[in-house]
A and B are shown apart, each in its own frame.
Chain A
């Protein structure tokens, strides 16, 4: 089972034959992917191709029906005993999720908390850090996303782009090893997309491992180390952006890129 020790440094994320179905609908039909430490992987593909579902399987927001996902060598959502897997308890899954940050299409900020309170909630309540430390770190993160002056505002008082940047800061506050982005700019007005992409670009430069589901081909070309094109629940092709985006080998990839670009 354990081949990771053999081929040099472990990848941060490794998916093996991941399958997922919703009722009769096969959403993922065997996904194999690896993301190395510090790499940025962009998942492209038409809607319904399973990219968001795959992303949600990584931090176990969805159960997988088959296959395995390892993050930093740990099997997500299951205990392994002699080749057999047992479901974890919710508290154990919660513990695993702490090292994985996630940013959603619809921001999902907590509306009853201010920007800073949104960021501080998990470090204080879950990671048991002191309030003062968490607030200092929270303000640093708000500075990083350029929103120091909005610390005391409620989500309803912020624009979409500002909400998404707070959401990124909130995910970073738990000091994750891995960041998942689920179409982070799809719900934004076009003129607000740039600010969010800039924050993500800086984050990639700082060496954060990121998996990004996106329709921003320009961003993928510029920032990604690896681009994966998915369609109908399988990986159609993957590789460097210069290969997949500029020189797609498969017809399906070409058709998709033509329609998006």
Chain B
């Protein structure tokens, strides 16, 4: 990166011939000044500093309370719960999404319509309504039974509220809702793969399932991962909606605490800080996944942040050495 910028700045507006005619390699021109940029930057910095100052000195915010609760046991538990929920819901959503996308692209019209209807329903009703619905599933079915429909044959039966705990209800609500969106992403990914590749796989004797797993999906992943990263981040934040059905995740924990100590603002800041940390952390696996599935499409793989940092250190070092060298030379000349 730094290399490119450095070289990009160098070329002058003279052609090589003109340059030789002028007998110089550097053009001594005064760079264009941009006073507007400086003014804009100064105003914005002043505004932000002012706002920060007012927050810091606001008597309504007890900074010590924030510090106290940031690593409170209940909050940390809530964070872990939020992470677990996000992870499980995304796994459920992705699995369902692949199934729905394959159904949507199948030759069987019944499967196509079912997949379409699923997406229609779960995309067409508010997530909040779906969450409450799953939370109150016990009102619809007191018991859940596993058996053969329209017969008296039953293999197992259990109380709904014992199986569909708040965690399970939240997981189902978030996962099934997300699957509807994710299935469109997966479908777009599957459609992006060149059909010639499918034919080549078939001509080698690969079965349709094998072709999907080894040839089509790995290529589709390149298209699927960036939007799925987005979806994961919104999923993480949507777990806060589960406060409504008392799933003990991060936001629920903060709201329970603030209901006792009445420090709503402080606890909202605690929650926001954790959400920001978690969403920031999530972009790391996304970067590595994109890098992995980008193999073959880029002529050379992008560097990992670690490799980039090492390269930057190396560049700074050589530059420092160069500067030291020229300094020593000019001193010698003087």
Contact = CB atoms under 8 A, between A and B. Distances in A.
A156 B219 CA distance: 14
Q: Name B's interface SS.
A: helix
Interface in A91-138: 91, 94-98, 100-102, 104, 106, 108-114, 121-122, 125-127
B200 interface: yes
A81 B71 CA distance: 74
A155 B199 CA distance: 17
B204 A170 contact: yes
A61 B202 contact: yes
A112 B219 contact: yes
A44 interface: no
B34 interface: no
Contacts of B206: 94, 122, 125-126
Contacts, number: 82
A91 B297 contact: no
Q: Name A's interface SS.
A: mixed
A87 interface: no
Interface in B176-232: 194, 196-197, 199-208, 210, 214-215, 218-219, 222
A102 B205 CA distance: 11
A127 B296 CA distance: 25
Nearest to A101: B203
A90 interface: yes
Given A108-B196, A121-B214, A113 B205 contact: no
A174 interface: yes
Given A111-B296, A112-B293, A156-B297, A171 B204 contact: yes
A61 B203 contact: yes
Contacts of B197: 108, 110-111
A110 to B, nearest CB: 6
A119 B284 CA distance: 33
A91 B219 contact: no
Contacts of B203: 59, 61, 97, 100-102, 104, 171, 180
B205 A98 contact: yes
B295 A125 contact: no
A159 interface: no
B299 interface: yes
A194 B169 CA distance: 65
Contacts of B295: 112, 154
Contacts of A171: 203-204
Contacts of A90: 207-208
Contacts of B214: 121, 125
B68 to A, nearest CB: 51
Contacts of B208: 90, 94
A104 B199 contact: yes
B145 to A, nearest CB: 35
Interface of B: 194, 196-197, 199-208, 210, 214-215, 218-219, 222, 293, 295-297, 299
Given A122-B205, A180-B203, 8 more contacts: A59-B203, A61-B202, A94-B205, A104-B203, A108-B194, A112-B293, A121-B204, A155-B296
Interface of A: 59, 61, 90-91, 94-98, 100-102, 104, 106, 108-114, 121-122, 125-127, 154-157, 167, 170-171, 174, 180
5 contacts: A90-B207, A108-B200, A112-B297, A122-B204, A126-B204
